[in-house]
């Protein structure tokens, strides 16, 4: 069975500093990996995905994530945090084919002005 | 429509009543998911429909919960004999394999059981 771990319930970072939101996964075969973001009082939005190819994936709003197969990780990063990045971030994984997606428990990112 | 539509947006019910929540996925999307989210917390998987295959019901918390998807499109999540602990936001998402499984979420139905 597949699983996703987001070890931090909350991450605090000062505006302008780099941010990292951690995610590790377990899945059979090659994974499809995703990050979604949920802004306050809004629905979940797709941020970026890794399917195959370059381990560094770039997504919306200046976010990127690095796939590390040996560490089974897919950490979300941004070089310079904005206050508007404050939101709830979810990592998700699925195997290939017609299999369901599994979400992590979410990490609340708080960017401090 | 342009996106995933859920109705109603808010539902207040009395303990013990049955409720039905509706999800209209994006046209042509073969996969449909239901999740539950309590107070801005994590996503709890409920059920997954993929095309004409038997649904994955492994996340339904009790036999009071059921869901169906008619004609491979609209889905209804039914909660029978609602309890206060059922209060949450119920989210629906759909995806297409052509989109490499990116899920598009509806705005959710906020269920309050009094």
Tell if the CB–CB gap between A90 and B91 is shorter than 8 Å.
Answer: no
Q: For residue B99, is pLDDT > 60?
A: no
pLDDT more than 70, % of chain B: 95
B48 vs A46, A100, A104: nearest CB: A100
More confident residue, B39 or B52: B52
What is the reported pLDDT for B41? Answer: 73
In this complex, do A44 and B50 lie within 8 Å of one another by their Cβ atoms?
Answer: no
- Residue A17: the pLDDT is 98
Q: Quick check: A23 and A2 in contact, CB under 8 A? A: no
Tokens read off for A106? 């979410």
Q: What angle do CA B87, B90, A4 make, to 5 degrees?
A: 105
Which residues does chain B have within 8 Å of residue A92's beta carbon, measured at their own beta carbons?
A: 103
DSSP track, A1-58: --EEE---SEEEEETTS-EEE--EEE-SSSEEEEEEEE-TTS-EEEEEEE-SS-SEEE
Write down the residue that tokens 């998987």 correspond to. B45
């Amino acid at each position: 069975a597949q699983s996703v771990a987001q070890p931090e319930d909350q991450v605090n970072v000062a505006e302008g500093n780099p941010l990292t939101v951690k995610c590790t996964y377990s899945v059979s075969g090659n994974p499809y990996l995703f990050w979604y973001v949920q802004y306050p009082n809004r629905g979940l939005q797709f941020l970026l995905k890794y399917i195959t190819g370059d381990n560094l994936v770039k997504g919306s709003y200046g976010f990127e994530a690095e796939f590390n197969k040996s560490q089974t990780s897919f950490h979300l990063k941004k070089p310079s945090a904005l206050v508007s990045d404050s939101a709830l971030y979810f990592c998700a994984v699925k195997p290939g084919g017609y299999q369901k997606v599994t979400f992590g428990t979410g990490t609340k990112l708080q960017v401090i002005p | 429509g342009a996106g995933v539509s859920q109705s109603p947006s808010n539902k207040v019910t009395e303990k013990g009543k049955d409720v039905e929540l509706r999800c209209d996925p994006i046209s042509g999307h073969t996969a449909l998911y239901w999740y539950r989210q309590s107070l801005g917390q994590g996503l709890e998987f409920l059920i997954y429909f993929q095309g004409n295959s038997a649904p994955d019901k492994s996340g339904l918390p009790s036999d009071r919960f059921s869901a169906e998807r008619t004609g491979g499109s609209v889905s209804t999540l039914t909660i029978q004999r609602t309890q206060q602990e059922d209060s949450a936001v119920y989210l629906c998402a759909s995806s297409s394999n052509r989109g490499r499984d990116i899920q598009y979420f509806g705005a959710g139905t906020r269920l309050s059981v009094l």
